[in-house]
Amino acid sequence: MPLTPLTETQQSILDLARGFAADEITPHAAQWDRDAHFPREVAARMGELGFLGMLIPEEYDGLGLDTLSYLLALETIAAADASTAVLMSVHNSLPTQMLLHFGSDAQRERYLKPMARGEMIGAFALSEPEAGSDASSLRCQAVRSDDGASWLLSGTKSWVTSGTFADVIMVMARTDTPDARRGSKGISAFIVTPDLPGFHVGKKEDKMGLRASPTVQLNFDGLRVPAENLLGTEGQGFVYAMRSLDNGRLGIAAQALGIAQAALDHSLDYAGQRKQFKQPIRDFQAIQFKLADMAARIESARALLHATAAAKDRGETITQYGSMSKLLASETAMWVTTQAVQIFGGYGYVKEYPVEKLFRDAKITEIYEGTSEIQRIVIARELYATRGPA
């Protein structure tokens, strides 16, 4: 695994994640995928082990770990099952980080602490049916009630990970008015819980991969959100979401690396066992070149991700390197899993062997939390900003 030397704590977190993955995820992942069902009790178990509060300081009931520890655990869990990993990534990177950095003391007490303990699962609702890459064009509207005690939200959110069972959903909605639109400055963030009147879970997506992870639309029909559930400052919700996605993209990069590493490991095993023309196929140079390229691409993507994690922990802004990490890791995962299917040949194309699922799971990492095209736009913008005017 990583070239980076690990501290004792990082090694013990890695060992914990390996044991959990081997005992409690790997034996069941194919069945969860077939059933398109994620058992809620697995999330509770992740909470017990501390995997849902890894980046939250101890004063808020988290483990207060460094980013590399978190990414090592996430990669390991993703290698066992990418659906389990996306729950962990979204929860740790998006709603909990928004509460930690922009929430009030009361909000942290009420929501962040139970989320860090894994008793409440978090979700993130930014995208809408017609606002995907162009996130600031979202339309979900929040209107303050006449007495000022609440906000009434109307609209539809899409692609909400863990949306069937999430207990706390960070929802971005417009708080500007139709006659005075303010673009990204007209968006605010709200803490939404499913018990609020007007909350409806809508269509569950029937996906190519990550089938165990429930991805849903949420429909708000005059959803009544108490005024105290506005996060931070009105009009800052888009910036809060973007800042959190900087971190989220590191999680998706780790998830992609887990998928890629699993595909390489299965390919190494298979190429050693499978014989054609009277010899193991790993003795053919065509297969050696594939395995070598798979390993080299994984290690380079991992090195960039781990360097970015260290920069983040030094307090540096990681917008550009976060996007680079996600871009490189997700395109590596898609390329590596494609090679793995090729190495397995016909057996790579059937569900009886593991690389078929890895291939399907890899694709989404090039799409969600910002497509590869959006990552390239973010990187190019940062390059231009450094260079100054043309």
Binding site for ligand CAA (CB under 6 A): 90, 124, 126-127, 133, 135-136, 159-161, 184, 238-239, 242-243, 245-246, 319, 368-370, 374, 377-378
For the CB of residue 374, give the shortest distance to ligand CAA in the complex, in Å.
5
User: Which of 240, 171, 227, 162 has the alpha carbon at shortest distance from 199?
Assistant: 171
Instruction: Note whether 118 and 46 are within 8 A (CB).
Output: yes
Quick check: helix, strand or coil at residue 190? strand
Residue 230, Cα to own-chain centre: how many angstroms? 24
Q: Where are the alpha helices (DSSP H) in 94-136?
A: 95-102, 105-107, 113-116
With both helix axes pointing from N to C terminus, report the angle between 319-344 and 372-387 in degrees, rounded to the nearest 10.
Answer: 140
For the CB of residue 118, give the shortest distance to ligand CAA in the complex, in Å.
18
For the CB of residue 241, give the shortest distance to ligand CAA in the complex, in Å.
8
For the CB of residue 101, give the shortest distance to ligand CAA in the complex, in Å.
11
Q: Point out the residues that are catalytic.
A: 369
Cα 199 to Cα 17, 52, 164, 282: the distances in Å are: 35, 25, 12, 55
For the CB of residue 291, give the shortest distance to ligand CAA in the complex, in Å.
31
Nearer to ligand CAA, 354 or 370 (CB): 370
HSE-up of residue 217 (Cα within 13 Å, Cβ side): 13
Rounded Cα distance between 59 and 348, Å, is 47
Nearer to ligand CAA, 14 or 309 (CB): 309
Residue 21 DSSP symbol = I
For the CB of residue 3, give the shortest distance to ligand CAA in the complex, in Å.
28
DSSP 344-368: HGGGGGSTTSTHHHHHHHHHGGGTT
For the CB of residue 363, give the shortest distance to ligand CAA in the complex, in Å.
13
Nearer to ligand CAA, 299 or 382 (CB): 382
Long-range contacts of 261-264 (CB under 8 A, 24+ apart): 261/75, 261/79, 261/298, 262/78, 262/79, 262/80, 262/354, 262/358, 263/294, 263/333, 263/336, 263/337, 263/339, 263/340, 263/355, 263/358, 263/359, 263/362, 264/291, 264/294, 264/295, 264/298, 264/336, 264/340
Nearer to ligand CAA, 282 or 326 (CB): 326
Instruction: Note whether 199 and 228 are within 8 A (CB).
Output: no
